[in-house]
Copies of this chain bind each other. A is one copy, B any other.
Amino acid sequence: MAGQKIQRQTGVALWRQIADRIRTSINHGDFDETGMVPPETTLALQFGVNRHTIRSALAALAQEGIVRAVQGRGTLIERKERLSFPISKRTRFSQGIGDQVRETRSMLLAASEEPANVELARQLKINAGTQLVRLETLGQADHRPVSRATSWFPADRFGDIAEIYRATGSITKAFKELGVPDYVRVVTEITATHADESDLSDLQLSPGAIVLVAQALNADLDNVPVQYSISRFAADRVRFTIEN
């Protein structure tokens, strides 16, 4: 498990920090040999805390359905969440993580039209005020939410994208139907921040959780911007991989 020490007096309870670290270790495959979390006394020693604090952390993970404690035997790992999300010219949500989970799904949360503000206009290389379609989507892997995204598309070319996306659950397919056979990632910006209220509910996080924020611009094969999006990922469920 190694890594960093636990921090005290940061406003984040020790049991929550430890729960998050154990969850990460599980997802990283650290306990795959036994399929079990180390004994509570061992963890208490490793993290330098009381066994009761470890028990609080494990209770939280049990509440999430990640582990299950069995008296006399130990604490079994029930479910893992480990997703590596590759970023490249060909970045697509479902393809990237498709080989890591049984099922990926994408849901349309909301759709609307609005004029481009200065920032959106700059990104999409259009005039401010140009009408845009805005989609709010939720990416899921094995029925667990992974990312929450807001995307903007020029309305003149993609006015019907919401309907098609709702039907197919795929941006790639929607683009195809609207005359964009292929598209590429032009630029991605990544930041990290604390989860806000919407993250907590949409991504099923707990307060203080970290989200990775990816702002991305996609263009068609003529290099004309077709989509600008801001996606928020649960930092303890994904990692980004950039291959050059």
Which of B23, B89, B200, B212 contacts A244, CB < 8 Å? B89
A10 interfacial by beta-carbon distance below 8 Å: yes
A136 to chain B: closest CB distance in Å?
15
B5 touches A206 (CB 8 A): no
- Say how many copies of this protein the assembly contains: 2
With contacts A12-B12, A12-B13 taken as known, whether A7 is within 8 angstroms of B200 at the C-beta atoms is yes
The segment out of A92-100, A165-173, A184-192 that lies at the interface is A184-192
Chain B residues, Cβ within 8 Å of A186: 243-244
A59 to chain B: closest CB distance in Å?
11
Q: How far is the CA of A198 from the CA of B7 in the complex (A)?
A: 11
B240 touches A5 (CB 8 A): no
A230 to chain B: closest CB distance in Å?
11
Instruction: Across the interface, name the chain B residue whose C-beta is closest to A194.
Output: B20
Q: In A1-29, which residues have CB < 8 Å from any B CB?
A: 2-7, 9-13, 15-17, 19-21, 23-24, 27
The segment out of A34-42, A80-88, A153-161 that lies at the interface is A80-88
B240 touches A191 (CB 8 A): yes
A192 touches B208 (CB 8 A): no
Q: Which of A20, A193, A200, A207 has the most CB of B within 10 A?
A: A207
Size category, A interface: 35 or more
A7 touches B187 (CB 8 A): no
A196 interfacial by beta-carbon distance below 8 Å: yes
With contacts A23-B194, A24-B193 taken as known, whether A208 is within 8 angstroms of B5 at the C-beta atoms is no
List 5 additional contacts besides A21-B194, A187-B242, A190-B190; criterion CB under 8 Å: A7-B197, A10-B208, A21-B197, A191-B240, A210-B210
Give residues in A with beta carbon < 8 Å to B.
2-7, 9-13, 15-17, 19-21, 23-24, 27, 60, 82, 84, 87-89, 184-198, 200, 206-208, 210, 212, 235, 238-244
What are the 5 A-B residue pairs with the smallest beta carbon separation, nearest first?
A11-B16, A4-B196, A12-B208, A10-B207, A20-B194
9 chain-A/chain-B pairs, Cβ below 8 angstroms: A7-B194, A11-B15, A11-B207, A12-B12, A12-B206, A184-B244, A189-B242, A190-B239, A190-B242
